[in-house]
Structure 1
Amino acid sequence: MKDYLCEDTIAAISTPIGKGAIGIVRISGRKALEILKEIYRTKSGKKKEEFEDRKMTYGVVVDDKGKEIDEVLAVYMKAPKTFTGEDVVEIHSHGGTVVVRKILREVLKRGARLAEPGEFTMRAFVHGRIDLLQAEAINDLINATNEMSAQVAVNQLEGKLSQKIKKIRDKLLELKAFVEVGVDFPEEEVEIMESAQVKEKLNEIKRQIENLLKSYKDGKILKEGIKVAIVGRPNVGKSSLLNAILNEERAIVTEIPGTTRDVIEESVTFHGLPLRLIDTAGIREAEDVVEKIGIERSLKSIENADVVLFVIDGSQELTEEDRKLVEKLKNRGNVIVVINKKDAGLKVSCKDVKDFKACVEISAKTGEGLEKLAETIGRIVMFEPEREIGSDEAVISNERQKQLLEKALESVNKVLNTLEGGYESPEFLSIDIDEALKYLGELIGEVTTEDMLDIIFSRFCIGK
């Protein structure tokens, strides 16, 4: 478990392990500057006792025997105006696994401990530098797979969603203040808000929460991408379609049926749509154990996909394997039939496939029809291609945020139902408003538990 009192000093490598121009070791805590002084030397070999705040210094790092490890640039950043709110030191060395690990080892010898995943960001939260939504946004930004998901994360990091949640909380707090006048001064002639006014304000709060909840579907798509499974019998052009969308030779394409034995997954922005493409093994009666496993995974991908692209080779008549897949897929509302090989002349067209809501004729070889395919995918998931994310747009993008907003909405509805039923007891109204405030507080991190924070920050990489 992380140190939520932040009493010790933590350190980690904050750049990816492996070959690279630069490697960074980050230290945060009370002993950060002291550790830097112990391991840092000027180029002439002298200790340095004074480090100017936020000024890069050129020198070397030495081990406990005084032997030089590497030439470095070191910077000391004084609390509280740092990312973590603590004293922070960064040591920038040459990249590579050996050198950076050696420097980290010396830092740990001097009294720091290895940071756990997300612990630097957790300390930023504990010290009030960011709220919980902004902390989650940092992780989303690191893991963004397309420009739109990155923009959503940037908006959250800048506090767009937090501001909306805080405004809703402020309105609820104002209502609570009026309601509690009736609780605290029941015998006094104190002017309190009329029931109709309370309902009006609650309905406005309800609309704002509902609008945020509506953004979840788009937010999830932007963050994770639309899961698109490409299925069909062997050798109909599934891998060719994957390569055409990716605009690269990612999957092996041959005339031999069954070349794709496993599920291939790739992320791409396709005509403005963030997609998670899943190229599956051709579905047929398996000829060996390996192919059978691949086909089982293909069938599982169909179950988990947001959209299924059912690829048919239009240059030849439908086969028995095609017809079996038609029967298997025809009752699904998320299936797009893709008639491929239009460039070779079509013996099967969309007119011949009547059991599905959507059908597109394409040529994976020439790219004809791919733009229409993107539009059709967007329509299936009710997502607008080429969507622009506004600089002020607040979007919820994970299940934790969705669940807490749903609970807050449920509590607001309880207050409205109480008023509609004519039960205007201030005590009951206050309890339900408190409940809504609690859930909104959990959302931004004003109400937390260590277990909840452990779950959130454990998803981060070490060094962030």
Structure 2
Amino acid sequence: MPVDAAPIAAIATAPGRGGIGVVRASGKQLAGLIGALFPGVTLKPRHASYLPFTQADGSLIDQGIVLWFQGPHSYTGEDVLELQGHGGPVVLQMLLQRVLEAGAEFGLRLAEPGEFTRRAYLNDKLDLAQAEAVADLIDASTEAAAKSASQSLSGAFSQAIHTLVEQVIHLRMLVEATLDFPEEEIDFLEKSDARGQLSAIIGALEHVFAQAAQGALLREGLNVVLVGQPNVGKSSLLNALAGADVAIVTPIAGTTRDKVSETIQIEGIPLNIIDTAGIRRPEEASDQVERIGIERTWAEVAKADVILHLLDADHGPTRADDDIAAAFPQGVPLVRVWNKIDLSGHKPAVDQDAAATHIYLSAHEHIGIDLLRAELLRIAGWQQTGESLYLARERHLIALRSARKHLDHAAAHAAQNDQSLDLFAEELRLAQVQLSSITGAFSADDLLGEIFSRFCIGK
């Protein structure tokens, strides 16, 4: 693929103020840049040097640590220069500008988002799954997600995929060798135990998919929307789930006018809990602001992964509750939460029918909240295992599902004995292509552009 090999530079630390800030440069040869920035200084690779950072006229910008990593022993596989100074935004911008000026004659330019990691991928320092794990580790919202991202970054996910690919290649080799020598007239499927090998590959793929699907939950989480009439206890439930007073609770109907969001975690899974304006008929809304809030409530419902429909257990269901439920989108998991059991006399419980799960609790008294947490985990498909998970992305799951489909087709052809060996071999090839796309062995340029454009600048 065409790649701009010009040296690049950027601020590598997050925006804002901090004790330390880093400006990073990477390129095939940075000796000229080092000489321009630090004339007369010899830097030792992988050793820290404390030096002044100066303008071209010798005036001082800052003082800090300089690190030089000589390629290919660096993050990008190229020469990498890091200037670590104080983390003020002004001083870092001055330092970056100085680096760009000093490297202008060598073609140094500002890095694009994710370009350092993209070069690490192109220089075989990371495969594509590991490169994505870099961004996932930075963006991890829970401890469990960070641990799983570290697993993928270490290469554990990639190794599992490589093992599957090697098994598919081995079976392909046997099939295609038989196709090349048909005169041997051997029962290939029986003598090579091709069906047994294929079955073992499918079993291994299912295991990897299960770990990846669980890991995807850690990355994506669920959008959980609280819906119901005014004053039914939505804000109280949000506070109970969050363990803090993040929403205003009053006996006045219609207190919540706009959505209130809070991200919590249950067993490491991030849940984006969204408290919405209470729903009532437009003519009952107190003013235009409340009517807009109700419109936004339905907008959030349309995007929900789970709907929590709150009802008043003390008063029982009303026609308005039925009207609300009738407007819910089809196919979205629905939990009917019967709140205020401290007033109704109900016991905390979970009941299920064909349409929804019913949970009886008291948000105000924090009774039955664990039942709701357990139900949210069940809906998410979470299973507690002692195994490490891979922080997979949706594209990984799509590739794994597609590979499984091709392996299933291969199994169908295998059932016809040796009459469909050519189709058997083709399905194995297609499965291999899908698996290899996860680590980047087969990846289109537009996919790479999409992946790395989502990284922060400087990474």
TM-score scaled by structure 2? 0.88
RMSD: 2.9
- The answer to whether the 8 Å contact 1:132/1:443 transfers is yes
**Among residues 88, 95, 99, which one is paired with 2:91 in the alignment?**
99
In structure 2, the gaps of 5 or more residues are: none
Whole-Å separation in 2 of the counterparts to 1:234 and 1:4: 58
Bigger drift between 408-417 and 435-444 goes to 408-417
1:312 maps to which residue? 311
SS at match of 1:461: coil
Whole-Å separation in 2 of the counterparts to 1:363 and 1:333: 24
1:146 maps to which residue? 142
Tell whether 2:106 aligns with 1:114: no
Bigger drift between 398-407 and 214-223 goes to 214-223
Q: How high is the sequence identity, in percent, across the aligned residues?
A: 36
**Among residues 376, 381, 390, which one is paired with 2:387 in the alignment?**
390
- The answer to whether the 8 Å contact 2:236/2:363 transfers is yes
1:76-225 to 2 correspondences below 5 Å:
76-109=68-101, 110-111=103-104, 112-187=108-183, 194=190, 197-225=193-221
Whole-Å separation in 2 of the counterparts to 1:453 and 1:279: 37
1:321 maps to which residue? 320
2:361 maps to which residue? 362
2:403 maps to which residue? 408
- The answer to whether the 8 Å contact 1:6/1:123 transfers is no
2:10 maps to which residue? 12
- The answer to whether the 8 Å contact 1:226/1:275 transfers is yes
SS at match of 2:148: helix
Whole-Å separation in 2 of the counterparts to 1:331 and 1:59: 64
Bigger drift between 428-437 and 73-82 goes to 428-437
1:446 maps to which residue? 441
- The answer to whether the 8 Å contact 1:271/1:371 transfers is no
Whole-Å separation in 1 of the counterparts to 2:334 and 2:447: 38
**1:53, CA displacement in angstroms?**
1.4
1:409-448 to 2 correspondences below 5 Å:
409-424=404-419, 426-448=421-443
- The answer to whether the 8 Å contact 1:245/1:270 transfers is no
Tell whether 2:241 aligns with 1:245: yes
Tell whether 2:265 aligns with 1:265: no
1:43 maps to which residue? none
**1:351, CA displacement in angstroms?**
9.3
SS at match of 1:448: coil
Whole-Å separation in 1 of the counterparts to 2:373 and 2:156: 30
- The answer to whether the 8 Å contact 1:225/1:267 transfers is no
**Among residues 18, 26, 29, which one is paired with 1:28 in the alignment?**
26
Task: Give CA deviations for 1:41-80 in whole Å, capped at 9, x if unaligned.
Answer: xxxxxx3421111222112211222221112211111111
Whole-Å separation in 1 of the counterparts to 2:330 and 2:450: 39
Task: Give CA deviations for 1:123-145 in whole Å, capped at 9, x if unaligned.
Answer: 11111111111111111111111
**1:321, CA displacement in angstroms?**
3.2
SS at match of 2:33: helix
Q: Letter of the 2:414 partner, please give it.
A: L
Q: How many residues are aligned here?
A: 451
**1:185, CA displacement in angstroms?**
3.4
Whole-Å separation in 1 of the counterparts to 2:346 and 2:319: 14
Q: Letter of the 2:22 partner, please give it.
A: I
SS at match of 2:225: strand
- The answer to whether the 8 Å contact 1:33/1:89 transfers is no
Q: Letter of the 1:390 partner, please give it.
A: E
Q: Letter of the 1:100 partner, please give it.
A: L
In structure 1, the gaps of 5 or more residues are: 41-46
**1:314, CA displacement in angstroms?**
4.0
Bigger drift between 258-267 and 30-39 goes to 30-39
